[in-house]
Amino acid sequence: MNCCNSHGECTQGRDCPIRKQRAEETNKAYINRNNGLEPDLLDDFVASIKGLIAVIVVVVGITLLAYAIWGK
pLDDT given at position 8: 62
Q: Contacts for 23-31 with beta carbons within 8 Å, 24 or more apart?
A: none
- For 14, the domain range is 1-38
What is the separation, in whole angstroms, between the first and last Cα of the chain? 75
26 and 55, same domain (yes or no) = no
Whether residues 54 and 66 share a domain: the answer is yes
Mark whether 43 and 25 lie in a shared domain.
no
Q: What total number of domains does the chain contain?
A: 2
Render pLDDT for 36-65 as a digit per residue (tens, 0 to 9): 666 778 888 999 999 999 999 999 999 999
Q: What is the pTM of this model?
A: 0.47
33 with 47, same domain: the answer is no
Task: Let me know whether 9 and 32 are in one domain.
Answer: yes
Same-domain status, 1 and 18:
yes
Distance CA 49, CA 68 (A): 28
